[in-house]
């Protein structure tokens, strides 16, 4: 399917993504996945959106190439770049930060989406792993491929040069008292 056909599909309740011209539908995320995305985006909303520094979305459509449109768990666009946000998707350039909370299809998030976000020029790609309780920050190197800037745990504080005032002790996410983790 091409990008225009994909974007012309009726609104779906199930998350759909177009990756290399193939439509993928996702099952419902597990509760821990949703919880982590909600808590992280809530803190980002408070520190970024409510202070006028940018827009924070949960699951917004992002066009990353001529044949790929993804739905990251969290998308952040700096205030001075809100013009990239179209009426239905972000298609006027790369968002400033995308966050994927790892789920059952870890390979797609860790390999193919990583490649697509890097090629699209997304300055920061955060990968939140609820199983390992880590948040990996990736940023492009001089060749445009992502390199790890940091792998953070609950003992660390999340910051980003894109929003210098943003600061979040990750214990507030990973060790949140309402979190119910999946039992193996």
Q: Is the pLDDT of residue 93 over 70?
A: yes
Q: What pLDDT is attached to residue 154? A: 97
- Which tokens belong to 19? 């990756």
More confident call, 182 vs 168: 168
pTM: 0.93
Mean residue pLDDT of the chain comes to 93
Helix (H) or strand (E) holding 107: helix 106-107
Q: What is the pLDDT of residues 99-153, one digit of tens each?
A: 999 987 788 889 999 999 999 999 999 999 999 999 999 999 999 999 999 999 9
């Amino acid at each position: 399917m091409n990008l225009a056909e994909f974007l012309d599909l009726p609104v779906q309740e199930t998350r759909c993504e177009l990756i290399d011209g193939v439509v993928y539908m996702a099952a419902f995320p597990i509760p821990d996945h949703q919880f982590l995305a909600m808590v992280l985006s809530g803190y980002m909303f408070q520190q970024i959106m409510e202070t006028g520094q940018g827009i924070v979305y949960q699951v917004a459509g992002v066009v990353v190439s001529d044949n790929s449109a993804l739905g990251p768990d969290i998308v952040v666009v700096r205030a001075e770049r809100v013009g990239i946000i179209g009426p239905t998707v972000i298609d006027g350039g790369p968002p400033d930060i995308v966050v994927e909370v790892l789920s059952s299809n870890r390979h797609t998030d860790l390999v193919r989406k990583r490649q697509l976000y890097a090629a699209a020029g997304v300055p920061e790609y955060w990968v939140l792993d609820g199983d390992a309780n880590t948040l990996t920050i990736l940023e492009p190197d001089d060749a445009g491929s992502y390199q790890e800037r940091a792998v953070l745990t609950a003992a660390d504080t999340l910051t980003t040069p894109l929003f210098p005032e943003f600061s979040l002790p990750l214990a507030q996410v990973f060790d949140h008292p309402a979190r119910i983790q999946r039992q193996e």
